[in-house]
Amino acid sequence: MGCITSKHGGGRPVTDSPVPVVRKNGHGFTLSSSSSKHQPERLEVDKDDEKLGENGKIINPKKSRDLRKSKRDGSGRKSGSFSFKLGFSQRFVEAEQVAAGWPAWLSSAAGEAVHGWVPLQADAFEKLDKIGQGTYSNVFKAREVETGRLVALKKVRFDNFQPESIRFMAREITILRRLNHPNVMKLEGVITSRFSSTIYLVFEYMEHDLAGLSSCPDINFTEAQVKCYMKQLLMGLEHCHLRGVMHRDIKASNILVNNQGILKLGDFGLANILTSKNKNQLTSRVVTLWYRPPELLMGSTSYEVSVDLWSVGCVFAEVLMGKPILKGRTEVEQLHKIFKLCGSPPDEYWKKMKLPHSTMFKPQHPYESCLQQRCKDIPSTALDLLEILLSVEPHKRGTASSSLMSEVNLR
């Protein structure tokens, strides 16, 4: 459908960039260029764990067996409702996972995340280059030894085996296992070590991200290419939302593109599963500032998937215009920029939403939207969709499905 690929002069692979890049990529890391190349090395655990040898493990869903089918309670009876029976069942599952090769610290804190997956040997991969780093993670370009296929290894360290930190990462694993779509990054495995506070998440390798492509001065997206990318993004997001998953950190650098023009939504580190129980007790401290919707900036803890649609609108504008459209330095400045561009909400909105910081942020005089004037050079059908996605009232943003059916004709 006209998506840009390397043959069209696409953005360079992140490992070949001649200058440092300091944005967060959809593998969940900050990209950093490296001019030095080195010989491949077999994947190892941390220095503290080198004595473990074969204890480092990697799981692979393709070769896994469902432990629930192959191993059963010797009594052959269903678990009772008594607490001691439930406790025994939990201990049995943990013992089963440890016997399969999982470390006890992971099984006890978040065994449900890896339940049913069987570990393989850690030396199935060899590191090629370190391609990025973040506060809690490093990412490596690696090769699968048996097939030669390239992958990305996201290395995450936990402090002192703290259960909360482990469960936070386990939530990302659980969510990724729930999703299965061509436009969503696929988790292919997890490497663990019995005594290290580190795990590796194994993903397919993607050469580019949308932030790098859209900011490249040599690239001017055609209308067909923009449609192609937006269709893929919205189809991946539609799948997430239908599966009850809010991404909560959609931005151009978390949207990855390979050399064939296939786009995939990545980095589910802030994602959550929306349920009736947690609907009114969510955190507002999510979504990168330039892509954060106004209700989160005003402290809302009761929101739905519409927060993702706002972020998609910001990405849409960025692809169309070649740069981020809302670049605030603080939360107050970001909200002010939103109201100046998209207009401020009507009085009914402030009364209905009951936002924690609404009185602090409500402008003294209402703003009218100037989005059409700011984006006068983009096609009218694209502008219509952009106005919907960047509605300051969440219920007016529609859904990923309705955006796909818009006059832009993304279907």
Give the total number of structural domains in the chain: 2
Structural domain of 262? 208-409
In order along the chain (411 residues), what is the average pLDDT of each group of 10 residues? 48 35 46 49 54 41 42 43 51 63 72 69 85 77 94 83 80 93 94 73 93 88 92 98 97 94 94 80 93 94 95 96 94 95 89 74 87 90 94 96 82 56
pLDDT the model gives residue 204: 93
Which of residues 169, 204, 239 is at a domain's end?
204
Residue 400 lies in a domain: yes
Q: What is the pLDDT of residues 58-74, one digit of tens each?
A: 444 444 444 344 444 44
**Global pTM?**
0.78
Q: What is the pLDDT of residues 100-130, one digit of tens each?
A: 557 777 777 777 777 767 664 678 889 999 9
pLDDT the model gives residue 106: 74
Shared domain for 166 and 308, answered yes or no, is no
Residue 90 lies in a domain: no
pLDDT the model gives residue 186: 93
Specify the DSSP class assigned to residue 248.
Answer: -
CA atoms of 324 and 321, how far apart (whole Å): 8
pLDDT the model gives residue 280: 67
Which of residues 172, 204, 236 is at a domain's end?
204
Give the E-state strand segments of 105-177 in sequence order: 119-121, 125-133, 137-144, 150-157
Residues marked as catalytic: 249
Shared domain for 239 and 359, answered yes or no, is yes
CATH number at residue 369: 1.10.510.10
* Residues 223, 379 contacting (CB under 8 angstroms): yes
CATH number at residue 159: 3.30.200.20
pLDDT the model gives residue 294: 95
Q: What is the pLDDT of residues 311-360, one digit of tens each?
A: 999 999 999 998 999 999 999 999 999 999 999 988 888 877 777 777 77
C-beta atoms surrounding 56 within 10 Å: 25
Shared domain for 309 and 356, answered yes or no, is yes
Give the pair of three-digit tokens for residue 144: 């699968």
Which of residues 204, 234, 261 is at a domain's end?
204
pLDDT the model gives residue 34: 40
Considering the chain, what is the average pLDDT of its residues?
Answer: 78
Residue 290 lies in a domain: yes
pLDDT the model gives residue 64: 42
pLDDT the model gives residue 137: 79
CA atoms of 294 and 280, how far apart (whole Å): 17
CA atoms of 228 and 2, how far apart (whole Å): 7
Give the pair of three-digit tokens for residue 351: 């009364």
154 labeled binding residue: yes
Residue 219 lies in a domain: yes
* Residues 117, 191 contacting (CB under 8 angstroms): no
Shared domain for 259 and 191, answered yes or no, is no
